[in-house]
Amino acid sequence: MIERNYTAVNILIRPMNSELFAGIFNLLDAEGIEENGSCLIAYFKEFDPQKEDRLKDFFDRMKRELLIENFSFTINTIEQKNWNEEWEKTIEPIKVSNTFVIKPSFKDYIQKEDEIVLTIDPKMSFGTGYHQSTRLMIRLIEKYIKPGMKVLDVGTGTGVLAIVCAKLDASNIIAVENDEVCLENANENFDKNMVRDKCKFVLGEIKDVIEKDFNLVAANINRHILLDIAYDIKERLSQNSFVILSGIIEQDEEIILEKYKSLGLNLIQKISEEEWLGLALKF
Protein backbone atom coordinates (compact mmCIF):
# COMPACT_ATOMS: atom_id res chain seq x y z
CA MET A 1 0.00 0.00 0.00
CA ILE A 2 1.29 3.46 -0.90
CA GLU A 3 1.44 5.73 2.15
CA ARG A 4 1.29 9.46 1.73
CA ASN A 5 1.00 12.38 4.09
CA TYR A 6 -1.54 15.07 3.32
CA THR A 7 -1.97 18.63 4.47
CA ALA A 8 -5.26 19.47 6.18
CA VAL A 9 -6.16 23.14 6.31
CA ASN A 10 -8.81 23.85 8.96
CA ILE A 11 -10.65 27.07 8.08
CA LEU A 12 -12.98 28.76 10.54
CA ILE A 13 -15.40 31.10 8.77
CA ARG A 14 -18.03 33.46 10.16
CA PRO A 15 -20.63 33.32 8.74
CA MET A 16 -20.42 30.20 6.57
CA ASN A 17 -20.97 30.89 2.87
CA SER A 18 -21.43 27.97 0.44
CA GLU A 19 -19.61 29.87 -2.31
CA LEU A 20 -16.42 29.56 -0.28
CA PHE A 21 -16.54 25.79 -0.58
CA ALA A 22 -16.42 25.90 -4.37
CA GLY A 23 -14.05 28.85 -4.41
CA ILE A 24 -11.33 27.09 -2.45
CA PHE A 25 -11.84 23.86 -4.37
CA ASN A 26 -11.27 25.59 -7.72
CA LEU A 27 -8.70 28.14 -6.58
CA LEU A 28 -6.21 25.78 -5.01
CA ASP A 29 -7.07 22.39 -6.53
CA ALA A 30 -7.88 20.81 -3.17
CA GLU A 31 -8.20 17.04 -3.22
CA GLY A 32 -11.38 17.37 -1.21
CA ILE A 33 -13.19 19.53 1.28
CA GLU A 34 -15.37 18.67 4.27
CA GLU A 35 -17.86 21.10 5.76
CA ASN A 36 -18.49 20.96 9.49
CA GLY A 37 -20.68 23.77 10.78
CA SER A 38 -18.68 26.97 10.50
CA CYS A 39 -15.48 25.11 9.64
CA LEU A 40 -14.12 23.84 6.32
CA ILE A 41 -11.36 21.24 6.18
CA ALA A 42 -9.50 21.26 2.86
CA TYR A 43 -7.12 18.41 2.00
CA PHE A 44 -4.06 18.92 -0.21
CA LYS A 45 -1.37 16.65 -1.57
CA GLU A 46 1.00 19.60 -1.47
CA PHE A 47 0.51 22.86 0.35
CA ASP A 48 3.38 25.31 -0.06
CA PRO A 49 3.73 28.93 1.17
CA GLN A 50 2.41 30.18 -2.18
CA LYS A 51 -0.89 28.36 -1.66
CA GLU A 52 -1.09 29.68 1.87
CA ASP A 53 -0.68 33.25 0.55
CA ARG A 54 -3.35 32.68 -2.11
CA LEU A 55 -5.71 31.28 0.49
CA LYS A 56 -5.24 34.32 2.72
CA ASP A 57 -5.74 36.67 -0.25
CA PHE A 58 -8.96 34.82 -1.15
CA PHE A 59 -10.44 35.26 2.33
CA ASP A 60 -9.25 38.85 2.60
CA ARG A 61 -11.18 39.58 -0.61
CA MET A 62 -14.26 37.80 0.73
CA LYS A 63 -14.04 39.96 3.84
CA ARG A 64 -13.65 43.18 1.86
CA GLU A 65 -16.70 42.24 -0.21
CA LEU A 66 -18.63 41.67 3.06
CA LEU A 67 -19.30 38.02 2.24
CA ILE A 68 -17.76 37.01 5.56
CA GLU A 69 -17.09 38.81 8.82
CA ASN A 70 -13.94 37.00 9.89
CA PHE A 71 -11.80 33.94 9.27
CA SER A 72 -8.83 32.02 10.59
CA PHE A 73 -7.08 28.84 9.53
CA THR A 74 -4.59 26.31 10.84
CA ILE A 75 -2.42 23.93 8.85
CA ASN A 76 -1.71 20.34 9.90
CA THR A 77 -0.04 17.31 8.37
CA ILE A 78 -2.05 14.10 8.56
CA GLU A 79 -1.16 10.53 7.71
CA GLN A 80 -3.25 8.68 5.18
CA LYS A 81 -4.11 5.88 7.63
CA ASN A 82 -5.34 8.40 10.20
CA TRP A 83 -7.51 10.08 7.58
CA ASN A 84 -9.07 6.75 6.72
CA GLU A 85 -9.77 5.98 10.38
CA GLU A 86 -11.52 9.31 10.87
CA TRP A 87 -13.47 8.91 7.63
CA GLU A 88 -14.71 5.47 8.63
CA LYS A 89 -16.25 6.91 11.79
CA THR A 90 -18.59 9.19 9.84
CA ILE A 91 -19.31 7.62 6.44
CA GLU A 92 -22.75 6.03 5.96
CA PRO A 93 -24.53 4.47 2.96
CA ILE A 94 -26.03 7.12 0.69
CA LYS A 95 -28.57 6.94 -2.14
CA VAL A 96 -27.10 9.00 -4.98
CA SER A 97 -29.70 8.46 -7.72
CA ASN A 98 -32.93 6.60 -8.43
CA THR A 99 -30.91 3.43 -8.92
CA PHE A 100 -27.62 3.61 -7.06
CA VAL A 101 -26.70 3.42 -3.39
CA ILE A 102 -23.05 3.80 -2.35
CA LYS A 103 -21.80 2.19 0.83
CA PRO A 104 -18.42 1.40 2.39
CA SER A 105 -17.49 -2.23 2.99
CA PHE A 106 -17.56 -1.71 6.75
CA LYS A 107 -21.24 -0.65 6.89
CA ASP A 108 -24.32 -2.83 6.33
CA TYR A 109 -27.19 -1.86 4.06
CA ILE A 110 -30.41 -3.70 3.21
CA GLN A 111 -30.82 -3.47 -0.55
CA LYS A 112 -34.23 -2.66 -1.96
CA GLU A 113 -35.57 -4.43 -5.03
CA ASP A 114 -34.95 -1.59 -7.50
CA GLU A 115 -31.49 -0.59 -6.22
CA ILE A 116 -27.92 -1.29 -7.25
CA VAL A 117 -25.58 -1.09 -4.27
CA LEU A 118 -21.93 -0.15 -4.89
CA THR A 119 -19.21 -0.82 -2.35
CA ILE A 120 -16.73 2.05 -2.42
CA ASP A 121 -13.93 2.43 0.12
CA PRO A 122 -11.88 5.64 -0.18
CA LYS A 123 -8.14 5.88 0.42
CA MET A 124 -7.72 9.64 0.06
CA SER A 125 -9.33 9.27 -3.37
CA PHE A 126 -12.41 11.43 -3.45
CA GLY A 127 -15.50 10.01 -5.11
CA THR A 128 -17.69 8.36 -2.52
CA GLY A 129 -21.03 9.92 -3.44
CA TYR A 130 -20.91 12.48 -0.69
CA HIS A 131 -19.91 15.29 -3.01
CA GLN A 132 -22.57 16.92 -5.17
CA SER A 133 -20.54 16.60 -8.36
CA THR A 134 -20.27 12.81 -8.00
CA ARG A 135 -24.02 12.51 -7.59
CA LEU A 136 -24.66 14.74 -10.62
CA MET A 137 -22.32 12.65 -12.75
CA ILE A 138 -24.04 9.41 -11.76
CA ARG A 139 -27.51 10.79 -12.55
CA LEU A 140 -26.45 11.93 -16.02
CA ILE A 141 -24.55 8.73 -16.78
CA GLU A 142 -27.68 6.75 -15.87
CA LYS A 143 -29.66 8.69 -18.46
CA TYR A 144 -27.25 8.62 -21.40
CA ILE A 145 -25.32 5.37 -21.18
CA LYS A 146 -26.47 2.40 -23.23
CA PRO A 147 -25.51 -1.29 -23.03
CA GLY A 148 -22.36 -2.10 -24.96
CA MET A 149 -20.90 1.42 -24.86
CA LYS A 150 -17.17 2.01 -24.60
CA VAL A 151 -16.47 4.53 -21.83
CA LEU A 152 -13.54 6.70 -20.75
CA ASP A 153 -13.56 7.89 -17.11
CA VAL A 154 -11.05 10.75 -16.78
CA GLY A 155 -9.78 11.38 -13.25
CA THR A 156 -11.37 8.20 -11.92
CA GLY A 157 -10.34 8.59 -8.25
CA THR A 158 -12.04 5.74 -6.36
CA GLY A 159 -13.30 4.32 -9.67
CA VAL A 160 -16.92 4.95 -8.72
CA LEU A 161 -18.03 6.31 -12.12
CA ALA A 162 -16.33 3.48 -13.99
CA ILE A 163 -18.12 1.02 -11.71
CA VAL A 164 -21.48 2.74 -12.36
CA CYS A 165 -20.89 2.40 -16.11
CA ALA A 166 -20.00 -1.28 -15.75
CA LYS A 167 -23.16 -1.94 -13.70
CA LEU A 168 -25.18 -0.24 -16.45
CA ASP A 169 -23.79 -2.72 -18.98
CA ALA A 170 -21.04 -0.69 -20.65
CA SER A 171 -18.82 -3.28 -22.31
CA ASN A 172 -15.40 -1.67 -21.90
CA ILE A 173 -14.34 1.09 -19.50
CA ILE A 174 -10.94 2.74 -19.29
CA ALA A 175 -10.37 4.62 -16.03
CA VAL A 176 -7.46 7.05 -16.18
CA GLU A 177 -5.88 8.80 -13.18
CA ASN A 178 -2.45 10.30 -12.50
CA ASP A 179 -2.41 9.58 -8.74
CA GLU A 180 -0.74 6.32 -7.68
CA VAL A 181 -2.90 6.10 -4.55
CA CYS A 182 -5.91 5.78 -6.86
CA LEU A 183 -4.31 2.87 -8.74
CA GLU A 184 -4.60 0.63 -5.70
CA ASN A 185 -7.87 2.13 -4.46
CA ALA A 186 -9.77 1.92 -7.76
CA ASN A 187 -8.62 -1.61 -8.52
CA GLU A 188 -9.71 -2.75 -5.05
CA ASN A 189 -13.13 -1.18 -5.64
CA PHE A 190 -13.35 -2.83 -9.09
CA ASP A 191 -12.80 -6.19 -7.39
CA LYS A 192 -15.30 -5.50 -4.57
CA ASN A 193 -17.97 -4.70 -7.16
CA MET A 194 -16.97 -7.56 -9.47
CA VAL A 195 -16.33 -5.37 -12.53
CA ARG A 196 -12.58 -5.89 -13.01
CA ASP A 197 -13.27 -7.73 -16.29
CA LYS A 198 -14.80 -4.54 -17.74
CA CYS A 199 -12.63 -1.84 -16.13
CA LYS A 200 -9.01 -1.14 -17.02
CA PHE A 201 -7.02 1.37 -14.94
CA VAL A 202 -4.48 3.57 -16.76
CA LEU A 203 -2.00 5.41 -14.55
CA GLY A 204 -1.39 8.70 -16.32
CA GLU A 205 -3.33 11.43 -18.09
CA ILE A 206 -5.87 11.44 -20.90
CA LYS A 207 -3.07 11.93 -23.43
CA ASP A 208 -1.81 8.47 -22.40
CA VAL A 209 -5.04 6.86 -23.59
CA ILE A 210 -4.44 5.66 -27.15
CA GLU A 211 -7.99 4.61 -28.09
CA LYS A 212 -10.13 7.16 -29.92
CA ASP A 213 -13.50 5.48 -30.27
CA PHE A 214 -15.32 6.11 -27.00
CA ASN A 215 -19.11 6.39 -26.94
CA LEU A 216 -19.11 8.25 -23.62
CA VAL A 217 -16.47 10.24 -21.75
CA ALA A 218 -17.02 11.14 -18.10
CA ALA A 219 -14.87 13.78 -16.37
CA ASN A 220 -15.53 15.03 -12.85
CA ILE A 221 -12.61 17.45 -12.49
CA ASN A 222 -12.14 21.14 -11.76
CA ARG A 223 -12.73 23.85 -14.36
CA HIS A 224 -9.09 24.46 -15.21
CA ILE A 225 -8.40 20.84 -16.13
CA LEU A 226 -11.68 20.50 -18.05
CA LEU A 227 -10.62 23.44 -20.19
CA ASP A 228 -7.08 22.10 -20.63
CA ILE A 229 -8.20 18.63 -21.76
CA ALA A 230 -11.22 19.65 -23.87
CA TYR A 231 -9.43 18.94 -27.16
CA ASP A 232 -8.08 15.62 -25.84
CA ILE A 233 -11.61 14.57 -24.89
CA LYS A 234 -12.98 15.51 -28.31
CA GLU A 235 -10.19 13.59 -30.06
CA ARG A 236 -11.18 10.38 -28.26
CA LEU A 237 -14.87 10.45 -29.19
CA SER A 238 -16.68 8.42 -31.81
CA GLN A 239 -19.52 9.99 -33.77
CA ASN A 240 -22.84 10.50 -31.92
CA SER A 241 -21.13 10.16 -28.55
CA PHE A 242 -21.70 11.80 -25.18
CA VAL A 243 -19.57 13.77 -22.72
CA ILE A 244 -20.63 14.11 -19.07
CA LEU A 245 -18.88 16.84 -17.06
CA SER A 246 -18.96 18.05 -13.48
CA GLY A 247 -16.63 19.42 -10.82
CA ILE A 248 -17.71 22.90 -11.90
CA ILE A 249 -19.86 25.59 -10.34
CA GLU A 250 -22.47 27.90 -11.79
CA GLN A 251 -20.10 30.71 -12.74
CA ASP A 252 -17.99 28.23 -14.75
CA GLU A 253 -20.83 27.28 -17.08
CA GLU A 254 -20.33 29.87 -19.80
CA ILE A 255 -16.59 29.37 -20.25
CA ILE A 256 -16.91 25.58 -20.23
CA LEU A 257 -19.74 25.50 -22.76
CA GLU A 258 -18.00 28.03 -25.02
CA LYS A 259 -14.85 25.91 -25.12
CA TYR A 260 -16.61 22.61 -25.78
CA LYS A 261 -19.02 24.10 -28.32
CA SER A 262 -16.02 25.37 -30.31
CA LEU A 263 -14.98 21.71 -30.62
CA GLY A 264 -18.39 20.55 -31.85
CA LEU A 265 -19.91 19.45 -28.54
CA ASN A 266 -23.34 20.87 -27.76
CA LEU A 267 -25.21 20.99 -24.46
CA ILE A 268 -28.19 18.64 -24.27
CA GLN A 269 -28.90 18.73 -20.53
CA LYS A 270 -27.87 20.63 -17.42
CA ILE A 271 -28.64 19.60 -13.86
CA SER A 272 -27.55 21.16 -10.59
CA GLU A 273 -27.25 20.60 -6.88
CA GLU A 274 -26.62 23.68 -4.77
CA GLU A 275 -23.93 25.63 -6.69
CA TRP A 276 -22.57 22.57 -8.53
CA LEU A 277 -23.41 21.72 -12.15
CA GLY A 278 -23.56 18.56 -14.20
CA LEU A 279 -23.46 18.97 -17.99
CA ALA A 280 -24.33 16.45 -20.69
CA LEU A 281 -22.93 17.24 -24.16
CA LYS A 282 -23.36 15.48 -27.50
CA PHE A 283 -20.76 15.20 -30.24
- Per residue in 62-108, pLDDT (tens digit) is 788 777 788 888 888 876 666 566 666 667 889 999 999 999 888 88
Length of the chain: 283
- The pLDDT of residue 19 is above 70: no
pTM (predicted TM-score): 0.75
- pLDDT-derived band at 35, boundaries 50, 70, 90: low
- pLDDT-derived band at 21, boundaries 50, 70, 90: low
- The pLDDT of residue 9 is above 70: yes
Of residues 274 and 122, more confidence is placed in: 274
At 166 the pLDDT is 98
Q: Which CATH number fits the domain 5-86, given the four candidates 1.10.3470, 3.60.70, 3.40.50, 3.30.70?
A: 3.30.70
Query: Which residues of the chain form CATH 3.30.70?
Result: 5-86
User: Which are the contacts of 29, defined by CB distance < 8 A and separation ≥ 6?
Assistant: 44, 222, 224
- Per residue in 114-160, pLDDT (tens digit) is 999 999 987 655 566 678 889 999 999 999 999 999 999 999 988 99
Angle at 113 between CA 108 and CA 119, to 5 degrees: 35
Specify whether the CB–CB gap between 268 and 143 falls below 8 A: no
Please tell me the distance from the alpha carbon of residue 35 to that of residue 271, in angstroms, as a whole number.
22
- Where are the extended beta strands (E) located within 80-210? 94-95, 100-103, 116-119, 150-154, 172-177, 199-203
Specify whether the CB–CB gap between 124 and 6 falls below 8 A: yes
Please tell me the distance from the alpha carbon of residue 144 to that of residue 167, in angstroms, as a whole number.
14
Query: Which residues of the chain form CATH 3.40.50.150?
Result: 127-282
Hey, is 241 helix, strand or coil? strand
Q: What is the CATH number of domain 127-282?
A: 3.40.50.150
